[in-house]
Copies of this chain bind each other. A is one copy, B any other.
Amino acid sequence: MSGHKIVFTPSGKRGVVAAGTTLLEAARTFGVDLDSVCGGRGICGRCQVVPTFGSFAKHGIESQAEHLNAPNEVEARYATRKPLAEGRRLGCQCKVSGNLVVDVPESSQVHRQVVRKRAEVRAVTVDPVVRPLYLEVEEPDMHHPSGDWERVLTALASQWEIDTRAVTIAPTALDELQTALRAGKWKVTVALHEERHGATTTGHRVLAVRAGFHDTFYGVAIDIGSTTIACHLVRLADGEVVASSGAMNPQIRFGEDLMSRVSYVMMNEGGEAELTQVVREAADTAIAETLTEAEVDTKDLVAMVFVGNPVMHHLFLGLNPVELGGAPFALALNSSITTPATSLGLTQGAGAIAYLLPCIAGHVGADCAAVILSETPHTRDEITLVVDVGTNAEIVLGNKERVLACSSPTGPAFEGAQISCGQRAAPGAIERVRIDRETYEPRFRVIGSEKWSDEEGFAEEVAKLGGVTGVCGSGIIEVLAELFLSGVILTDGTIDGRLSDRCERIVSEGRTFAYSLYEPSEAEAPTLRITQNDVRAIQLAKAALYAGVRLLMDRRGVEQVERIQLAGAFGSHIDVRYAMALGMVPDCPLDKTSGAGNAAGEGARIALVNRSARAEIEEVVRRVEKIETAVEPRFQEHFVAAMAFPHATAPFPNLAKTLHLPPKSAPPASTNGDSTGARGGRRRRRN
């Protein structure tokens, strides 16, 4: 019996098989990426292929319809449940009797592509952490007593060629097993997790067992922020987000910022356990909400990925964070963790395996590792700056040769805290501002309305939102930048009181001046003013951020960055031009500048669906050069130099093309007596 030549497209993988071999078997033999959950029983429909017929000169093949069997009963039965598209066959039912060219559509590949919304990030394919495997299990026989579990192992070995010497099962899955086997009449689908050390498979673990054929399992990607916990429920087979939920981090009641929470732990016996418990409960609730929203059974939740800053990471793991509160800022551990979800006190997904990305350093967390995984500075040719702007900015700089990271204590000013008119981003908050260069009159937009304040109908729309309530982070950046570009704020940050003569919006507040952004007609509504203190708070924050960036540039030996990605809710929302105008970030071609959205959450999703991404980020984190700004003398120098708008050390040729930058003005004589804020030294604010 001579063999038949089979060519799979688009991979081009090929080989010769004996007559009667199925296309699924041939694909496995040749290492073609063709999916199967049911193991060739014609149930799952995952192995669909498109045999193509004709003369393929380049393959030296005559591929003919007679070279495989006509669609059989099994395929007919499958098609009654789920129609097969024209030309498609079930690979497991096609028996070869001659040369063939066979196309594998993307939807039939295990390693299909994950949907990503942004063009500038690399493609991610599925590399499953957990695989569904359908099994037909022997029934128990009291004359040869054996456990249900041991008969499942036998099926795993014989039907999927798993080395069962090192297969374990999650306790809840073991309990489900008995019911599932009987409900499924000894046919079950298991969710099998492959355990690895590096690239070596060391064993497997069954995380869930469902009766009969059951091919869809889920995972959650969770970003535990100091303020909010964001959870995405993801279908593991294709990385699709099927539901999302967000919740406040209930630890806020123990302190708004991280340092107050660390202090709480230091001052209160059992405080650590308390903080751990509330954050775990909140994560558990967030998971439950996504499951409810997507109508997914908690038993189908088999994988979890968590990211967070070092303090959140430690508290979520049940580790005491106090060492992170002082030098040498020692992490309890800096490697990744793979652990049963139950060991984290979670009740949802009781069989699931949780993965925590590694923290990078005492102030640079697993959330930053996730940002790297999403934004991939380590794979780019361009010197790339990635900033995740939170109350602590986590800063990554580098390219495929070297990557550096640090964090900088920007404080909460960017998020609207410490600003007299500041508020969180919410409907009614001013988010966009323009100021007339001559009259200093403002125009603005608020969250929840598309209209500018000088457009018709604005007042009505805003009234529906409950009025103008404050200014959110991006609004503050814009109003400050516009005031600076208009000359109301001088380069040293002083609000120029000399202008109060010709503009009523510049008002005296004792020894300093303020800019009145919004003066409502109704008495109850707040007057929104930008005070001198507000400017000082932003100066401190942006100087800290820029100093961190500059420090990494020094260490990396570059004078310019070639790409900037701003991550996080605030970072994604601000107009990068204004950020540059204020000197938050260095100059960069504007078309190489973008918001990265929730890059930490996106990185968590990648680690959830792509196993190799875990190994990749672990390796990158090990070689990232970690810079501790707290002990870098140059940080302080950069910080002081960066207090000015836009500071002396930063040329902005790219920015100058789009925004009118004022001529460099010398700091005026201290007309209104306030420059102490700007010289007030560095506040170390770690939160």
Contact = CB atoms under 8 A, between A and B. Distances in A.
A378 B18 CA distance: 50
Contacts of A198: 165
Contacts of A178: 319-320, 323, 330, 332
A626 interface: yes
Contacts of A342: 343
Interface stretch (A139-147, A424-432, A477-485, A654-662): A139-147
A637 interface: no
Interface string A127-161: 00000000000001111111111100000000000
Given A165-B197, A343-B340, A362-B142, A319 B628 contact: no
Max chain B C-beta neighbours (<10 A), residue from A142, A203, A328, A339: A142
B343 A175 contact: no
A63 to B, nearest CB: 46
Interface of A: 140-150, 165-166, 169, 171-172, 174-175, 177-179, 197-198, 202-203, 317-320, 323, 327-335, 339-340, 342-343, 359-362, 626, 628, 630-631
22 contacts: A140-B328, A142-B631, A143-B628, A143-B631, A144-B626, A145-B328, A145-B360, A145-B361, A146-B334, A147-B330, A148-B330, A148-B332, A165-B197, A166-B197, A166-B202, A171-B317, A174-B332, A174-B333, A178-B323, A178-B330, A202-B203, A342-B343
Contact of A150 (B145, B150, B177, B333): B333
Contact of A630 (B142, B174, B343, B628): B142
Contacts of A323: 148, 178
A272 to B, nearest CB: 8
Max chain B C-beta neighbours (<10 A), residue from A141, A166, A333, A335: A333
A143 to B, nearest CB: 7
B631 A318 contact: no
A142 B318 contact: no
A334 B631 contact: no
A588 B4 CA distance: 72
A275 B362 CA distance: 45
A141 B175 CA distance: 47
Given A147-B334, A342-B343, A142 B319 contact: no
Contacts of A343: 171, 340, 342-343
A466 to B, nearest CB: 45
Nearest to A172: B318
Nearest to A632: B143
Given A147-B331, A171-B343, 5 more contacts: A149-B335, A171-B317, A171-B318, A174-B333, A175-B320
Contacts of A329: 142, 145
Max chain B C-beta neighbours (<10 A), residue from A145, A320, A327, A332: A145
Contacts of A140: 328, 330
B332 A147 contact: yes
Contacts of A327: 142
Nearest to A338: B168
A148 B178 CA distance: 42
A359 B148 CA distance: 12
B145 A332 contact: no
A177 B332 contact: yes
Nearest to A150: B334
A611 B202 CA distance: 21
